[in-house]
Copies of this chain bind each other. A is one copy, B any other.
């Protein structure tokens, strides 16, 4: 056991010496002088991506032209990339597919869940869940006129939302890791409890996939969605993924029934007939450039044991928290994340009344995290390209910026980041 409270820079550097993932850093193009703690918003550029995209552009598109739909396997890319993500989230290869955006996928799977529960009409979720999930549920409810979104206000880290399950609740929509605080739900336990109440569960894995091991199959989770551009490093606006448990697939239908989800898309018949399995959750033509970037980005996970990744994630977070903890009270920093690593994703958040200005000062100095109103400083910990020494330095800078009130200097008041 590492005595976190006594960690110093030499100890952090020593952790890096024995880090089994230290070679992975070389697979990312993080700019010199930057400590990047915002991979939970947009993952860093994997070095494999530009070469892959150049080949897609110049060879597959430029030379192969329309023939590349088959010749270069474009048509299979959503399923092939889905299968690679499946390993990271504890699902079978044929349970995950890449399509559209997380928002669109939420809509599809909520609609599918409601149809599977004809006697129930409520979508249950938490106040403060990531807004787009709530907005999509609101859109769906408004459109059908038969469903209702019920929001429960819960304490951070509590699973009290499940107390609200009654026989009206068709589906519980939960984001495993809270985007503000990094609070992590126990996916397995909460899925089991929801099932006991007769509800299905839709998990949003936006801040889970690629951040730590997820065990969808073990938990018998029904549905999940997730994001390609955070811990999976697929690039800005990378397409999202969705998961449907195998034994639900033939019954689960979704209403965004585009031609790519048709059983025979190139027969061009008038009537929709869903494809077998997970493919019915495709809709329009897949965005090949963005999909290929995500595919190349996933190379960085090849051979990575997700348990080892999680161990490093915890070690990075504990290094950061330990260094900040020494001065936190004096500096007015309050930990917004759960103190127990087990209840956190791969993110640490602090509250500070001057949070916005502090984050601008950090960014100006090369430590990139982000800010969420009204007072949250967010730091994401991506084990594939961060070192303990960097994380220690970032914590030190955070303390220094506040201690010296550097954040008050006008040159740090840059334009705000938006995501």
Interface set of A (CB-CB < 8 Å, partner B): 29, 31, 34, 36, 38, 41-42, 44-45, 49-50, 53-54, 57-58, 60-63, 65-71, 74-75, 100-104, 107, 111, 127-128, 131-132, 134-136, 138-140, 142-146, 151, 229, 235-240, 254-260, 262, 265-272, 283-291, 293, 363, 368, 370, 372-373, 415-419
Q: Chain B residues near A65 (CB, 8 Å)?
A: 31, 34, 36, 38, 42, 44, 368
Q: Measured between C-beta atoms, what is the minimum distance from A101 to chain B in Å?
A: 3
Q: Chain B residues near A127 (CB, 8 Å)?
A: 270
Residue of B nearest to A111 (CB): B143
Q: Measured between C-beta atoms, what is the minimum distance from A267 to chain B in Å?
A: 7
Q: Given the complex of chains A and B, what is the CA–CA distance between A255 and B293 in angstroms?
A: 29
Copies assembled: 2
Please determine whether A132 and B258 come into contact, CB atoms closer than 8 angstroms: yes
Q: Chain B residues near A45 (CB, 8 Å)?
A: 57-58, 61-62
Are A134 and B57 CB-contacts (below 8 A) given A65-B44, A143-B144? no
Please determine whether A288 and B236 come into contact, CB atoms closer than 8 angstroms: yes
Q: Chain B residues near A363 (CB, 8 Å)?
A: 67
Please determine whether A53 and B269 come into contact, CB atoms closer than 8 angstroms: no
**Sampled A-B contacts (27; CB under 8 Å):** A29-B62, A36-B65, A38-B65, A42-B61, A53-B289, A54-B54, A57-B235, A57-B293, A60-B236, A66-B417, A69-B417, A70-B415, A74-B237, A101-B284, A103-B256, A103-B260, A104-B284, A131-B269, A135-B257, A138-B272, A142-B255, A143-B143, A145-B146, A237-B284, A237-B291, A238-B287, A240-B284
Q: Given the complex of chains A and B, what is the CA–CA distance between A142 and B143 in angstroms?
A: 11
Q: Measured between C-beta atoms, what is the minimum distance from A362 to chain B in Å?
A: 12
Please determine whether A100 and B284 come into contact, CB atoms closer than 8 angstroms: yes
Q: Chain B residues near A268 (CB, 8 Å)?
A: 131, 372-373
Q: Measured between C-beta atoms, what is the minimum distance from A264 to chain B in Å?
A: 10
Q: Given the complex of chains A and B, what is the CA–CA distance between A42 and B63 in angstroms?
A: 12
Please determine whether B418 and A103 come into contact, CB atoms closer than 8 angstroms: no
**Which of A103, A237, A286, A415 is the most central at the interface, judged by chain B CB atoms within 10 Å of its CB?**
A237
Please determine whether A140 and B255 come into contact, CB atoms closer than 8 angstroms: yes
Q: Measured between C-beta atoms, what is the minimum distance from A159 to chain B in Å?
A: 20
Q: Given the complex of chains A and B, what is the CA–CA distance between A131 and B264 in angstroms?
A: 11
Please determine whether B100 and A418 come into contact, CB atoms closer than 8 angstroms: no
Please determine whether A74 and B255 come into contact, CB atoms closer than 8 angstroms: no
Q: Measured between C-beta atoms, what is the minimum distance from A100 to chain B in Å?
A: 7
Q: Measured between C-beta atoms, what is the minimum distance from A116 to chain B in Å?
A: 14
The one of B70, B257, B284 that contacts A417, using a Cβ cutoff of 8 Å = B70
Q: Given the complex of chains A and B, what is the CA–CA distance between A34 and B65 in angstroms?
A: 10
The one of B62, B269, B418 that contacts A266, using a Cβ cutoff of 8 Å = B418
Please determine whether A70 and B416 come into contact, CB atoms closer than 8 angstroms: yes
Please determine whether B103 and A283 come into contact, CB atoms closer than 8 angstroms: yes
Please determine whether A66 and B144 come into contact, CB atoms closer than 8 angstroms: no
Q: Chain B residues near A101 (CB, 8 Å)?
A: 100, 258, 283-285
Q: Given the complex of chains A and B, what is the CA–CA distance between A102 and B258 in angstroms?
A: 9
Please determine whether A418 and B69 come into contact, CB atoms closer than 8 angstroms: yes
The one of B69, B138, B418 that contacts A75, using a Cβ cutoff of 8 Å = B418
Please determine whether A258 and B145 come into contact, CB atoms closer than 8 angstroms: no
Q: Measured between C-beta atoms, what is the minimum distance from A118 to chain B in Å?
A: 12
Q: Given the complex of chains A and B, what is the CA–CA distance between A57 and B416 in angstroms?
A: 22
Are A50 and B42 CB-contacts (below 8 A) given A259-B131, A272-B139? no
Q: Measured between C-beta atoms, what is the minimum distance from A363 to chain B in Å?
A: 7
The one of B41, B104, B111 that contacts A104, using a Cβ cutoff of 8 Å = B104
The one of B128, B255, B419 that contacts A69, using a Cβ cutoff of 8 Å = B419
Having A45-B57, A140-B255, A237-B289, one finds 4 other A-B pairs with CB under 8 Å, namely A41-B66, A61-B235, A103-B284, A287-B287
